């Protein structure tokens, strides 16, 4: 089924609903890049470049059935990141069924330049309101650009009579060739909260981040652009973010992998989570206020990546 409303916005792009593999929306660029978004969790479950290569990790043991989030892609952590709060781990948004929102209010002019998008909407159910008594509207726009860049824009509006606070993350499972060949640039010298030491605060010592054991950290007050370099693949992911001051870096390594039912024992070598997030300080919205958090991901040949580090989110 074609979604006329969306296909009209960018000639050459295809935006279709795919009911065979579950409730998913596919955006395909004229050059063959694609993104697949599931209504389950509002989760991006696939992002492919023009050569058809998958850029996001999905576990071979992932379970695609509600009510649990699928292990891979980009689950949305909202209204709670991790287990610091009264809600289930990473909040309920990733386990709910979202709807396609044909009436999403427009974003800034620049946000639509050369992109095709789908808009999703989540409102709390009666049950959600019992465990988190705050009325909100969460609008998620997922877009693919002509160059195959993926962008996610989240807008959370307080439609409640009272203020509320939340934490948030785009829990982004990047696909990598071999974790021991990967390096993150842009987080050097930052403070981080170490989830492996009861969130104790440490300071990174100035080198690019590499991996040789389990890592579960929240880097706080990070720059708006960071790079994840995969030497073996000669590919660099450029992560641009706005409204999201923190970056969560997670790799479960061998021991933790064996405890996760929906994750292969050796799969930690092929993934790295680098999440644009707002964790250290909660976001507070007064009645009627709206918050916006943006993530833009590009995957480029490592030799070309320096041109991409200079400009922020469009």
Ligand X SMILES: O=P(O)(O)OC[C@H]1O[C@@H](O)[C@H](O)[C@@H](O)[C@@H]1O
Residue ranges for the known binding site for substrate are: 71, 89, 94
Element (H, E) at 203: strand 200-203
Residue 222: burial class (beta carbons within 10 Å; 0-12, 13-18, 19+): buried
Give the annotated binding-site residues. Answer: 71, 89, 94
Q: How far is the CB of 282 from ligand X (least distance, A)?
A: 16
Length of the chain: 314
In whole angstroms, give the CA distance from residue 248 to residue 272: 10
Which 188-227 residues touch ligand X, going by CB under 6 A?
195, 216
Q: How far is the CB of 223 from ligand X (least distance, A)?
A: 20
Binding mask 233-272 for ligand X (x = CB under 6 A): ---------------x-x----------------------
Residue 13: burial class (beta carbons within 10 Å; 0-12, 13-18, 19+): buried
Tokens 């991901």: give the residue: 297
β-strand partners of 88: none
In whole angstroms, give the CA distance from residue 223 to residue 283: 18
Applying CB under 6 A, the span of 43-51, 82-90, 229-237, 286-294 interacting with ligand X comes to: 82-90
Q: How far is the CB of 183 from ligand X (least distance, A)?
A: 20
Binding mask 5-44 for ligand X (x = CB under 6 A): ----------------------------------------
Name which of 116 and 272 has its Cβ closer to ligand X.
272
Q: How far apart are the first and last CA of the chain?
A: 30
Name which of 247 and 300 has its Cβ closer to ligand X.
247
In whole angstroms, give the CA distance from residue 1 to residue 267: 35
Task: Summarize as ranges the residues that interact with ligand X (CB under 6 A).
Answer: 82, 89-90, 171, 195, 216, 248, 250, 273, 275
């Amino acid at each position: 089924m074609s979604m006329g409303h969306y296909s009209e916005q960018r000639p050459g792009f295809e935006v279709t609903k795919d009911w065979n593999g579950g409730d998913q929306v596919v955006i395909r660029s004229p050059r063959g890049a694609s993104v697949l978004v599931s209504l389950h969790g509002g989760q991006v479950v696939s992002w492919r470049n023009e050569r058809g290569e998958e850029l996001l990790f999905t576990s071979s043991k992932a379970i695609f059935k509600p009510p649990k989030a699928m292990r891979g892609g980009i689950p949305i952590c909202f209204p709670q990141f991790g287990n610091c709060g009264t809600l289930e781990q990473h909040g309920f948004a990733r386990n709910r069924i979202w709807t396609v929102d044909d009436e999403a209010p427009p974003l800034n002019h620049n946000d639509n330049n050369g992109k095709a998008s789908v808009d999703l909407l989540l409102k709390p159910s009666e049950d959600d309101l019992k465990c988190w008594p705050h009325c909100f509207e969460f609008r998620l726009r997922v877009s693919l650009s002509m160059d195959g860049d993926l962008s996610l824009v989240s807008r959370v509006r307080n439609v409640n009579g009272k203020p509320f606070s939340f934490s948030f993350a785009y829990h982004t499972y990047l696909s990598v060739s071999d974790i021991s060949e990967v390096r993150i640039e842009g987080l050097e010298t930052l403070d981080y909260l170490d989830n492996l030491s009861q969130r104790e605060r440490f300071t990174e010592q100035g080198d690019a981040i590499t991996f040789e054991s389990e890592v579960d950290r929240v880097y706080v007050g990070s720059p708006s652009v960071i790079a994840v370099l995969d030497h073996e693949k000669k590919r660099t992911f450029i992560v641009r973010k706005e409204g999201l001051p923190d970056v969560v870096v997670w790799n479960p390594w061998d021991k933790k992998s064996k405890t996760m039912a929906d994750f292969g024992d050796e799969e930690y070598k092929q993934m790295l989570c680098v999440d644009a997030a707002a964790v250290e300080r909660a976001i507070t919205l007064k009645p009627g206020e709206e918050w916006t958090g943006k993530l833009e991901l590009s995957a480029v040949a490592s030799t070309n990546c320096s041109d991409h580090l200079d400009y922020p989110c469009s």
